[in-house]
Structure 1
Amino acid sequence: MAGPPESPFDADTEEERPLLIAVAHGEPDSLVAESHSHAYGQLAGAWRGLLTLGTETGQWVVPAVHAVWIPPHQVHSGRSHGPFDGWCVYIRPSICRDLPDRPVTMRTSGLLREAVLRMAQWKGQPLDDIRLPLAQVILNEIRTLPAESLGLPMPRDPRLLRIANALAEHPEDDRDLHAWASWAGVATRTLSRRFVSETGFTFTAWRQRARLLRSLEMLTENTPVTSVALDLGYDSISAFIALFRRTFGVTPGEYVRNATRVGNKQLF
């Protein structure tokens, strides 16, 4: 999630800024980007590995063949889990007006990924009459990408946020609602009610979601399915596999195989 090339983004006026720039990059080790923002909208995707994006309101997981949309001026941080091959498209702010005004995960298309990789080879060169049609294809594809539910909204109440941060860090913690309420100094009924109003999920559903998103990270790091299920506190391996399949449409083993096949794509 490193920033875009410096020179094309140093323009003083909107008209001087490029319509869009595509960048493809690979990291042999984990990639970490501290909190930052930029004037351009950004769509960040992965060929191989898993990317986690964080903002003040939530976390988004970006597995292979997915991408996360980051609106202009949105403060965000990011990190990959293990080796990572990815790509980014940076879009002029004025072009972002009909795109989401908040971060959202999207399932990408083969057409978009191939077009982005082609454009990345131009190294930020101006969009002439030959290159401009491909840029329009990329923009049209981005506008029609289906949203995916891979986000983990965070509560605003400081007491609930303390609990959410603890569970995001250790989703295997199996303390019940009453124990968490006591730990955070909040009434159980208040915790239950406000978790729904501030995140859209019950406390139990939110914790289950945190565990599933962490399981994607662990699977990407080649952790065996059995270890993932047990380390995250599931009652049985079959229960984890069934919930994973119901949520993501594939089994954990199929997810790993699919990610591996995508990861064999050469970026350059």
Structure 2
Amino acid sequence: MLILLPFPIRQGKTDAMNEAFDPDGIEQAVFVVGGHHETLDEPWHALRRARLIYVSDGVLTVRTDSSRWVVPPGHAVWIVANVLHSLSATRRVQSYSLYASPDAAPLPSQSGALVPDALVQALLVAVAELPLDSPFDEPAARLVQVLLDRLPALPAAPLGLNWPRDPRIQRIADSLSATPAQSAVLEDLAVAAGVTARTAARLFVKETGQTFGQWRQQLRLLVALEHLGAGASVTQVAVEVGYNDVSSFIAVFRDAFGDTPARYFRAISVDAG
């Protein structure tokens, strides 16, 4: 079932169904809905169910107050119940959302990016076809149970970034996010944020689990995923995220994601299809 998500979409529209949809208004403990949008700007909200957001086409950015993920085709993000989150996409995106009550089954206890296998992808599509206005029959319930059983075993994907909470470090993070290509060193960024470089370096490790250099590189890679998913060339993206040498960008991308940008998106397109 392809349906319009319940939140006011400020950019673009789905051509799925023309009625609003509230996940918390559904009685089923577990269900899946799908939708596609030319662009997407789903505002901040929290749900009483956990949510798995699987992207079958396009690239989706998912945010919580402490994390950010960029999700290409064939990948997913798990959001635990009652966590504020928002979704956005600058180009066409198609996704399937699994909503599960916390007591429905043993579920992942932490939010994060995942790699659904082919069976999980097929089950998400199949369960999305089930009606939401009546209890599932026995065959449908078995499909749902297999889907739930598979979730805890899904491998994690390196598609996320912990976002700092300290306001001084947030200013540095926001500056880099707005202009990822900037070449400013931590000392300069720290002065502008009203903190010493030594304190900034310590807080980055404490709040994100990464050094400043590691965090900055991961940010650039996630921005690169967004831009590559929007159709930009590898050369253009390399410059946009701060690499003057395209070969260096490709090498860093391959180290992080296991393949070159062109092959990576080609491979995930085949897998998602």
TM-score (norm 2): 0.89
Distance 1:2 1:159 in 2: 35
> Structure 2: which 5+ runs fail to align?
8-19
For the structure 1 residues 126 and 171, does the alpha-carbon distance in structure 2 shift closer, same or farther, using more than 3 Å as the test?
same
Match of 1:197 in 2: 206
Distance 2:265 2:219 in 1: 19
For the structure 1 residues 59 and 262, does the alpha-carbon distance in structure 2 shift closer, same or farther, using more than 3 Å as the test?
same
Measure how far apart 1:148 and its partner are: 1.6
Residue by residue, what CA displacement relative to the aligned partner does 1:164-211 show, whole Å, maximum 9, x if unpaired?
112122211110011101111101110111111111111111111000
What's the secondary structure of 2:139's corresponding residue? coil
- Residues 1-268 of structure 1 aligned to structure 2 (within 5 Å): 2-3=5-6, 6=21, 9-10=24-25, 17-27=27-37, 29-95=38-104, 98-124=106-132, 125-262=134-271, 265=273
Higher RCO (CA < 8 A, seq sep 6+): 1
Measure how far apart 1:262 and its partner are: 4.7
Q: Please provide the CA RMSD for this pair.
A: 1.9
Amino acid at match of 2:198: R
Number of aligned positions between the proteins: 257
For the structure 1 residues 92 and 223, does the alpha-carbon distance in structure 2 shift closer, same or farther, using more than 3 Å as the test?
same
- When structure 1 is superposed on structure 2, of 107-116 and 1-10 the one drifting more is 1-10
Contact 1:51 1:62 in 2 (8 A): yes
TM-score (norm 1): 0.90
Contact 1:48 1:262 in 2 (8 A): no
Measure how far apart 1:261 and its partner are: 3.0
Distance 2:269 2:22 in 1: 35
Question: Deviation above 4 Å: which 4+ runs of structure 1?
Answer: 3-8
> Structure 1: which 5+ runs fail to align?
12-16
Amino acid at match of 2:183: D
Amino acid at match of 2:28: P
Residue by residue, what CA displacement relative to the aligned partner does 1:48-105 show, whole Å, maximum 9, x if unpaired?
1111111111111111111100111111111123111111111122126x32333211
For the structure 1 residues 58 and 9, does the alpha-carbon distance in structure 2 shift closer, same or farther, using more than 3 Å as the test?
closer
What's the secondary structure of 1:94's corresponding residue? coil
Residue by residue, what CA displacement relative to the aligned partner does 1:113-138 show, whole Å, maximum 9, x if unpaired?
11111111113242111211101111
